[in-house]
């Protein structure tokens, strides 16, 4: 047997047989044994493969530094896949100190040999200005080279450049073309973006059913935004038969990944009993999770739950806290609610001046008839000096981007 006689190429091939279970029982440790024997003789494929085994912890304990060692030996012999992987190690700071310039160096060497992963990664470095001066035209160049070889990630990235007009003329049809090529290979981001193209009729004829098809494929891979959009399609019966139970299912999957919009929407489903039994406590739970992330609509709803004691113990101070957080994001509904709390003295000292200030700010985006009535009432009972002071205070608040509202 040539491998046992020390033939490095045969040893590498035998390692591959053991790794993939071809003609022998699958055995990663045996694969490592043969890769090592060949790698120590300088066989470039074995060095690369041994690096992968250490990188993935297959047949050996995972060891990034050992992976780097073997990748480097193969990379220095010009082996493109090893150059790419060594670039990734520098890019991520695994087994070596993080170094974008070194990552670019190795990506470029592999990219010039036509390695699609390196071409795409080099495009990303140019796009983000990491390790090189930012150059979006260079990014497009490298994305295109990889995309034209069928590399899904690069096809998606090139599609994004066309969709957003980044260093190419904005072209929704070209964007849809590249998204489709990547989506048909199962690339989740492209599936989601192609769904959006169909949903909004950008670069393709508007088609809600096609949008749902692509959202579903991405959602089934766990992409939260696709799960949210698919849930919305079921909730509103757009592109799919109206089904709130299905909507709840998809909203929950995204909510459990920590996405605030999904948490907020799931809270609404519980609050209204859509697709699930009405449950104010569950609604408050999901609103709280979204509100903690700064999601203004959830903060408003959570404030309301505290104000009226729905699903949670009534607490005016907590209501004020959440209304204020949303009001300071410029949301008029929260500003109106906070004004009422000041006007009534619920959860904080009563203050017509502060009530007027928040209604004055909310008025910039339009007031409901009820809020207009309250605003008119405050104008009648306040002195002209008080109104002037409140409006000045509102201007300071606005100019400070809601950081100095008193």
Residue-wise pLDDT tens digits, 154-188: 999 999 999 999 999 999 999 999 999 999 999 99
d(CA 122, CA 106): 9
Residue-wise pLDDT tens digits, 363-406: 888 888 888 888 888 989 999 999 999 999 999 999 999 999 97
Q: Report the pLDDT value the prediction gives residue 399, as an integer from 0 to 100.
A: 94
Is the whole-model pTM more than 0.85? yes
Which stretches of the chain score pLDDT less than 70? none
Q: Report the pLDDT value the prediction gives residue 39, as an integer from 0 to 100.
A: 97
Looking at the domain 222-314, which fold is it? 1.25.40
CA 14 → CA 19, 20, 49, 62, 356, distances in Å? Answer: 9, 10, 12, 22, 81
Q: Which residues of 211-220 are buried (b: 16+ CB within 10 A; e: fewer)?
A: bbbbbbbbbe
Q: Report the pLDDT value the prediction gives residue 370, as an integer from 0 to 100.
A: 81
Residue-wise pLDDT tens digits, 93-130: 999 999 999 999 999 999 999 999 999 999 999 999 99
* DSSP element (H, E) containing 146: helix 136-147
Give the start-to-end residue ranges of the domains of the chain: 222-314, 321-406
Residues 116, 117, 123, 124, Cα dihedral to 10°:
160
Task: Write out the DSSP string of 298-348.
Answer: HHHHHHHHHHHTSSS---HHHHHHHHHHHHTTT-HHHHHHHHHHHHHTSSS
């Amino acid at each position: 047997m040539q491998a046992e006689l020390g033939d490095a190429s045969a040893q590498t091939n035998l390692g591959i047989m053991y790794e993939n279970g071809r003609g022998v029982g699958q055995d990663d440790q045996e694969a490592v044994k043969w890769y090592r024997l060949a790698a120590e003789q300088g066989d470039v494929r074995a060095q690369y493969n041994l690096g992968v085994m250490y990188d993935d912890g297959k047949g050996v304990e995972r060891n990034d530094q050992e992976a780097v060692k073997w990748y480097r030996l193969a990379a220095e012999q010009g082996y493109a896949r090893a150059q790419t992987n060594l670039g990734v190690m520098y890019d991520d700071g695994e087994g070596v100190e993080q170094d974008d310039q070194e990552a670019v160096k190795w990506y470029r060497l592999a990219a010039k040999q036509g390695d699609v992963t390196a071409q795409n990664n080099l495009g990303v470095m140019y796009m983000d200005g990491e390790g090189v001066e930012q150059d979006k035209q260079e990014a497009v160049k490298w994305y295109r080279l990889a995309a034209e070889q069928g590399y899904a990630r690069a096809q998606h990235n090139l599609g994004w450049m066309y969709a957003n007009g980044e260093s190419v003329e904005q072209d929704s049809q070209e964007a849809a073309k590249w998204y489709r090529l990547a989506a048909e290979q199962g690339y989740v981001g492209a599936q989601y973006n192609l769904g959006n193209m169909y949903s909004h009729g950008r670069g393709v004829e508007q088609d809600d059913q096609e949008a749902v098809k692509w959202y579903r494929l991405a959602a089934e891979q766990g992409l939260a935004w696709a799960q949210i959009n698919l849930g919305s399609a079921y909730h509103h019966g757009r592109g799919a038969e109206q089904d709130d139970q299905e909507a709840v299912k998809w909203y929950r999957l995204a909510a459990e990944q920590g996405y605030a919009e999904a948490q907020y929407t799931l809270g609404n489903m519980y609050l209204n009993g859509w697709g699930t039994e009405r449950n104010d406590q569950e609604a408050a739970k999901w609103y709280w999770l979204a509100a903690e992330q700064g999601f203004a609509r959830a903060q408003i709803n959570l404030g309301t739950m505290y104000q009226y004691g729905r699903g949670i113990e009534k607490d005016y101070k907590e209501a004020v806290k959440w209304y204020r957080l949303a009001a300071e994001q410029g949301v008029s509904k929260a500003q109106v609610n906070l004004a009422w709390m000041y006007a009534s003295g619920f959860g904080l000292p009563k203050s017509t001046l502060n009530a007027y200030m928040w209604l004055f700010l909310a008025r910039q985006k339009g007031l409901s008839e009820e809020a207009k009535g309250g605003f008119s009432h405050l104008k009648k009972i306040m002195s002209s000096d008080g109104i002037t002071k409140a409006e000045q205070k509102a201007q300071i608040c606005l100019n400070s981007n809601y950081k100095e509202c008193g």
